[in-house]
């Protein structure tokens, strides 16, 4: 930590860290200095000149930008002098002379820093009689972002964000002087995973998003803080609702997680909430005309459950439930078991990347903020940029601040440029095993020996023997001061692990499913028939099951096989807690009414228990929350609603529970294809959110150029053929991949049926056309 010093602002003394900027020191002491370009998460540029203040120098008073000037001992600052006021008024007038007067139709009006500061610091009237600067009114710069250059005040927040924070500088200033404008490069749209952040930090209405444009006025919005389900990072968000419709999600600055940023998936994946396709009443036999009441559905299900011939009840859970809902499910299982001891009940998590992980030693568990304090970051997991996008931003920041980054292949090639060492095919085989002894990896030891290391560790591929991962972790543990983040990326996975006594994987479901017995299967917010490499086998099992109940938002490939579909609530419609990948528990809040006859998952579990005359059911989220808090290891700081609502705990509470995962270590086999999850895919929430639905449509595979040449390809559009499957795909060249290993997106339409361990053919589409002509 830096030293405390004292400075004098407007005649009063304040204490501050010696490495702070004037604007930060003043902000911390409650003295607001107006600004447009300065943003606390980005480097200062001193461009807008709104934050000018007077300081005393040996040569008299000087006007300096408070966003680029550091404090020093006994510095005398005046933020309110006549000179300062005149300068601020002047800057605002300069900004306004070319700013269009379209506030009445501007989305930003009402929450616009330019408006607010004009009211507070601006000139009363306009002296500008000349023509304003004109540009074509909003131009789309990507599928989801529009740019109005007339409104832009050229603060460089968006361009800096793209360059400094997200690392994809696809927007830049062009022209100069009075003609300066933000724009994209020709034929290169602003296709960034993080583009929505620029809309949020734009201090005027220059950048707008397709999903929010003209939908609401800020003063009509109802707002609540919550936690995003998008990834296991648990990003802090603010939900904006008007007339009972979710209209916008904004990032909130949580020092321990997203630091204000969101991925576009986390930001724009909400329109599905109000989709006409949502299931609003229980449905019988996948027949939409056959809607039944909740009571009827509960009768039917409890009758099935109470049947003495039952031998197995399986629960396949997804990652969008709250901790309270997982806890209620667990309570349901435990109580049912008390009544019927012969019943075999297991909970399976629908995530192909699940494995045992490293939970046995709680001293080993690291935190996201360790990124900022360790010497070296080791990464061997699935693609972070696609699956934990805001963690990716944190890693970028850490690297920018001098931390070493070492990546093991063959995923995360998008981060190779960021890394100090990327161990590709020379070190890691196609089957994700080490080609050499870990101790023999060139230059590896210098990154770790006696260093503070944070390892981000998980499976890179759904089919992967995890022994090499364990070997690496053991090696790191022996040779460095190791902390570790278990890299399960999806939603509230950690909440499921913490609150369900024993969690198994989908492979276990297939292996343990005995068709000769009577089986009931519940799928809960999961679509295993469309999201897993085991999808085909799971489909077979579900067809063979005696009774299938699906708790879900939409009809999908899994609900098609269900005897009863129970409609459930989603993000924003329920209150509860969420646990992120560092075991930080955060609050999720309800701001939307539940639609139709939709109930929370826990309510179904309670009702079923009631129907079969078992007590111990719960009556509210609050009751569940209080009960689940009892199992936390640290009793003094539990994530109860009360505790989480305290101002000091708005960033969440770190606490652990024992975690039990039972999963078989599979053989790697021979990987021909490496499946990855892309940020955008064909999940039912995304395809029912029109603004972003098209972003997950493209089907492409990646391979290195040698493979491309060896396979005698000349065109980038090919048919991928394996057995009966034919998929038209585009090829992207990625020379960081080993020979003959291609990367394919698991969460894009059509790919899940492919067997990654079997050979495939690539046939050029143009050849097929020629054939058909002949």
List residues binding other proteins (CB under 8 A): 44-50, 52, 62-63, 65, 68-70, 83, 86-87, 89-91, 93-95, 97-98, 127-128, 130, 153-154, 173, 175-180
CA torsion angle for 584, 590, 591, 594 (degrees, to 10)?
150
Would you say 16 or 498 has its CB closer to other proteins? 16
Q: CB of residue 100 vs other proteins: minimum separation in angstroms?
A: 14
From the centroid of its chain, how far is CA 519?
A: 35
Residue 75 or residue 347: which is nearer to other proteins going by CB? 75
Collapsing DSSP to helix, strand or coil, 618 comes out as coil
> Measured from the CB of residue 73, what is the shortest distance to other proteins in angstroms?
16
Give whichever of 169 and 669 is closer to other proteins, judged by the CB atom.
169
Distances in whole angstroms, Cα of residue 406 to Cα of each of 164, 195, 234, 289, 445? 20, 27, 25, 56, 11
Least Å distance, CB 177 to other proteins, is: 4
Burial of 533 (0-12, 13-18, 19+ CB in 10 A): buried
Cα distance between residue 343 and residue 330, in whole Å: 15
Q: Minimum distance between the CB of residue 97 and other proteins, rounded to whole angstroms?
A: 6
Shortest spacing between CB 74 and other proteins, in angstroms:
18
8 Å CB contact between 543 and 561 = yes
Dihedral of alpha carbons 392, 396, 402, 405, sign:
positive
Which CB sits closer to other proteins, 203 or 528?
203
DSSP E strands: which ranges in 506-620? 519-524, 547-552, 564-567, 576-579, 584-588
CA 614 – CA 617 distance, rounded (Å): 7
645 in Cβ contact with 587 (< 8 Å): yes
Report the nearest approach of other proteins to the CB of residue 16 (Å). Answer: 18
For other proteins, the closer CB: 130 or 615: 130
Nearer to other proteins, 179 or 341 (CB): 179
In angstroms, give the least distance from the CB of 218 to other proteins: 25
Q: At what angle do helices 323-339 and 601-611 cross, to 10 degrees?
A: 20
Closer CB to other proteins, 55 or 485, in the complex: 55
CA 253/CA 237 separation, integer angstroms: 8
Query: Across the chain, which distance is largest between two alpha carbons, in Å?
Result: 93
- The nearest distance, CB 201 to other proteins, in angstroms, is 18
Select 89 or 477, whichever has its Cβ closest to other proteins: 89
Compute the distance between CA of residue 523 and CA of residue 300 in angstroms, rounded to an integer. 16
Q: Could you tell me the smallest distance in angstroms from the CB atom of residue 188 to other proteins?
A: 18
188 vs 517, beta carbon nearer other proteins: 188
- Is the bond leading into 434 cis (omega within 30 degrees of zero)? no
CA distance 604 to 315: 14
Nearest approach, Cβ of residue 138 and other proteins (Å): 21
Nearer to other proteins, 69 or 413 (CB): 69
């Amino acid at each position: 930590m830096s030293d405390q010093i004292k400075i004098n602002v407007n005649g009063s003394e304040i204490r501050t860290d010696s490495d702070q900027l004037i604007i930060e020191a003043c902000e911390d002491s409650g003295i607001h200095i107006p600004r447009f370009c300065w943003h606390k998460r980005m480097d200062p540029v001193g461009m807008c000149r709104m934050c000018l203040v007077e300081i005393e120098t040996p040569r008299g008073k000087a006007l300096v930008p408070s966003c680029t000037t550091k404090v020093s001992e006994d510095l005398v600052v005046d933020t309110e002098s006549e000179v300062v006021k005149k300068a601020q008024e002047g800057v605002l007038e300069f900004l306004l002379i070319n700013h269009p007067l379209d506030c009445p139709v501007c989305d930003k009006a009402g929450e616009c820093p330019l408006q607010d500061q004009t009211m507070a610091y601006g000139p009363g009237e306009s002296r500008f009689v000349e023509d304003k600067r004109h540009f074509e009114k909003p131009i789309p710069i990507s599928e989801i972002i529009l740019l109005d250059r007339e409104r832009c005040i050229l603060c460089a927040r968006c361009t800096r964000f793209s360059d400094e924070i997200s690392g994809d500088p696809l927007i830049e200033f062009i022209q100069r002087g009075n003609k300066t404008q933000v724009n994209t490069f020709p034929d290169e749209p602003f296709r960034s995973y993080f583009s929505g952040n620029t809309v949020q930090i734009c201090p005027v209405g220059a950048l707008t998003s397709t999903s929010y444009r003209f939908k609401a006025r800020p003063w009509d919005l109802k707002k609540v803080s919550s936690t995003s389900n998008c990834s296991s990072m648990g990003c802090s968000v603010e939900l904006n609702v008007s007339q009972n419709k979710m209209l916008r999600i904004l990032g909130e600055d949580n020092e321990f997680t997203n630091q204000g940023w969101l991925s576009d998936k986390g930001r724009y994946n909400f329109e599905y909430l109000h989709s006409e396709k949502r299931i609003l009443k229980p449905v019988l036999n996948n027949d939409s005309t056959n809607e039944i009441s909740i009571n009827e559905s509960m009768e039917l299900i409890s009758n099935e459950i109470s049947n003495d011939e039952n031998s197995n009840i399986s629960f396949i859970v997804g990652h969008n439930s709250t901790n309270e809902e997982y806890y209620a499910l667990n309570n349901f299982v435990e109580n049912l078991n008390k009544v019927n001891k012969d019943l075999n009940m297991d909970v399976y998590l629908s995530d192909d990347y699940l494995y045992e992980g490293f939970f046995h030693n709680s001293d080993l568990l690291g935190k996201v903020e360790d990124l900022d304090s360790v010497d070296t970051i080791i990464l061997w997991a699935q693609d972070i940029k696609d699956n934990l996008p805001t963690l990716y931003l944190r890693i970028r920041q850490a690297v920018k601040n001098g931390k070493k980054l070492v990546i093991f292949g063959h995923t995360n090639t998008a981060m190779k440029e960021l890394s100090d060492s990327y161990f590709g095919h020379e070190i890691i085989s196609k089957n994700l095993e080490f080609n050499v002894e870990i101790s023999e990896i060139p230059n590896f030891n210098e990154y770790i020996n006696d260093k503070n290391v944070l390892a981000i560790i998980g499976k890179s591929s759904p089919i992967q023997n995890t022994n090499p991962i364990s070997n690496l972790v053991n090696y790191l543990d022996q040779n460095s001061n190791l902390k570790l983040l278990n890299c399960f990326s999806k939603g509230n996975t950690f909440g499921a692990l913490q609150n369900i006594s024993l969690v198994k994987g989908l492979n276990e479901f297939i292996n343990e499913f005995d068709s000769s017995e009577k089986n009931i299967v519940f799928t809960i917010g999961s679509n295993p028939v469309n999201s897993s490499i085991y999808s085909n086998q799971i489909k077979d099992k579900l067809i063979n099951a005696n009774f299938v109940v699906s708790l879900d938002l939409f009809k999908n490939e899994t609900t098609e096989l269900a005897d009863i579909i129970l409609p459930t609530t989603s993000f924003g419609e329920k209150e509860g807690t969420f646990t992120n990948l560092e075991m930080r528990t955060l609050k999720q809040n309800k701001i939307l009414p539940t639609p139709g006859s939709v109930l929370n998952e826990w309510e179904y579990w309670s009702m079923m228990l009631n129907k079969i005359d078992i007590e111990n059911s719960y009556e509210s989220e609050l009751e569940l929350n209080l009960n689940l808090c009892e199992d936390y290891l640290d009793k003094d700081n539990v994530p109860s609603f009360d505790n989480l609502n305290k101002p000091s705990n708005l960033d969440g509470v770190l606490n652990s529970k024992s975690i039990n995962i039972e999963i078989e270590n599979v053989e790697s086999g021979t990987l021909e294809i490496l499946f990855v999850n892309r940020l955008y895919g064909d999940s039912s929430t995304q395809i029912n959110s029109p603004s972003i639905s098209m972003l997950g449509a493209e089907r492409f595979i990646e391979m290195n150029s040698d493979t491309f040449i060896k396979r005698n390809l000349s065109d980038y559009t090919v048919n991928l053929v394996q057995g009966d499957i034919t998929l038209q795909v585009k090829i992207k060249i990625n020379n960081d991949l080993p020979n003959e290993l291609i990367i394919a997106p698991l969460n894009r339409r059509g790919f899940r049926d492919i067997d990654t361990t079997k050979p495939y053919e690539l046939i050029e589409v143009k050849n097929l056309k020629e054939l058909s002509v002949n």
